[in-house]
Structure 1
């Protein structure tokens, strides 16, 4: 849980202490990537400590991310800085497109055939599921590279059967529960914020990170199916609207903390960059 140095509102932001490596990914994705991709290790340790992640766990997680090719280290005097690798930045850019920018509703599916055995994990990571031996079905955004031979497909009939196929192929009930949990939790937080007024800069950044971490856990796994494949009253649009409102509400205060406390090799991180402004514009466009 988030440490008691912050207001009680933050203690309700997450169910439990997040996994260190996953939370560091959230920190880099939300704060660091749009500001050059580099952060001082001391800042990383401090931010993780807000959420009950110890220094030793933080250092271990960073080492694992370095081994995985996600981060690269650099020493300047006594300080260690970690930057995103080019491969990681490409992955973060793709995730940012889902988190912060409008996606056009899918009008159909993609069918993948002749997928190499060692590419199964890649397809699953992009939301595809196997529907029979050697046949995968999923959705994709323009620019995503998919293994195998891929065909675009659109249902010409049997709309109820499309929904039945989707509910059998994807764990939509699980996604529904996660979206609803996010909505209930952060609706309460939004109500508290409206009653109590603003947050201190550190609190705003901590709460924004908690929210991004919770939201990305479901939205990045959601296959973003066509509307005719989704159950009635699908909660994703409500979760999206709530995320956008709260993110925009907390950002001004969070940026005060970022520029006043977080360091890259060449000095403080910028409060705003072209990339961070583009994210806010993306959220406002929904």
Structure 2
């Protein structure tokens, strides 16, 4: 029989990919609470989503090999912390998810050189949305504004960035989570609230972090990014009281239980509330 309740349909759906979901757990729960987690907690949390212990251990080993996690053993227990590089990466991703900056209005155009991350090839050089912190290639770089032909910009952008795939990700997220009305999420058990929040952020972040965040006049008129972020923000705020209580009751690091809330988690909630 098909599951009709949207909450249970999400929680009983196919397991997420282990390595991706572990990254989600660390980004959502662990990074703002000290960046360390007991392996037993990780195994238990993933089991709730149909991910086996063997898959968790394999995924953790790969994350260690990739330099994103660092392990330590205390007695018979293993703990894993985010590497310094991963902490920086997670904080940058967290800004996009929880406190996204305004969309850029201008473009950066490099007259020569190979594209860097965030840039795409353009003629003999590269082009990127101009934003604070953009890493500039060597050689001349111009800051440009649109002065004509704005109607042709969406077609140009679609030929240089994977906008169709990003839009599909956003729309899939909206279809999957759009039925979670306040009535549907009212009275959830704390463990279900956390499980649902982890699924929420695991799916939303794939689209949001792939979004090149182009100037608004370069995206299609039906671009779903703002609608998807509004849904993400609303659900994250609604689920977090119960989810954070569950974290405080059932997550542990090498010292003891993780705190229910920290200044970092409160800052996230404040940013989303704005």
For residues 96 and 39 of structure 2, the distance between their equivalents in structure 1, rounded to whole angstroms, comes to 27
Residue 263, structure 1, aligned to residue 252, structure 2? yes
Structure 2 Cα separation of the partners of residues 240 and 41 of structure 1: 32
Q: Which runs of 5+ in 2 are unaligned?
A: none
From the superposition, tell whether residues 64 and 284 of structure 1 become closer, same or farther in structure 2 (CA, over 3 Å). same
* Structure 1 partner of 2:218: 229
Q: Is the 8 A contact 1:204 1:251 kept in 2?
A: yes
Match of 2:178, SS state, is: helix
Q: What 5-or-longer segments of structure 1 have no aligned partner?
A: none
Matches within 5 A, 1:114-129: 114-115=112-113, 123=117, 126=118, 128-129=119-120
Other-structure match for 2:132: 142
Change (3 A) 1:99 1:51: same
Correspondence for 1:241: 230
1:104 Cα deviation after fit: 1.1
Q: CA deviation at 1:146?
A: 4.2
Partner of 2:41, secondary structure, is helix
Counterpart residue number, 2:155: 164
CA contact (8 A) 1:113 1:148 kept: no
Contact 2:11 2:195 in 1 (8 A): no
Change (3 A) 1:151 1:77: farther
Structure-2-length-normalised TM-score: 0.91
CA drift of 1:194 comes to 1.3
Give the Cα separation in 2 of the matches to 1:108 and 1:11: 42
Alpha-carbon distance in 2 for matches of 1:234, 1:27:
28
1:268 aligned counterpart, secondary structure:
coil
Alpha-carbon separation, structure 2, partners of 1:94 and 1:141:
14
Q: Which residue of 2 aligns with 1:11?
A: 9
> Structure 1 pair 138/256, CA: closer, same or farther in 2 (3 Å)?
same
Other-structure match for 2:71: 73
The one of 35, 42, 45 equivalent to 1:44 is: 42
1:13, CA displacement in angstroms?
Answer: 5.6
Q: What is the TM-score with the length of structure 1 in the denominator?
A: 0.88
Q: After alignment, is 136-145 or 264-273 more displaced? A: 136-145
Could you tell me how far apart the structure 2 residues matched to 1:161 and 1:42 are?
A: 54
CA RMSD, aligned part only? Answer: 2.1
Say whether the 8 Å CA contact 2:112–2:126 is kept in structure 1. no
Structure 2 equivalent of residue 278 of structure 1: 267
Matched, 1:56 2:46: no
Cα distance, 1:245–1:8 mapped onto 2, change above 3 Å: closer
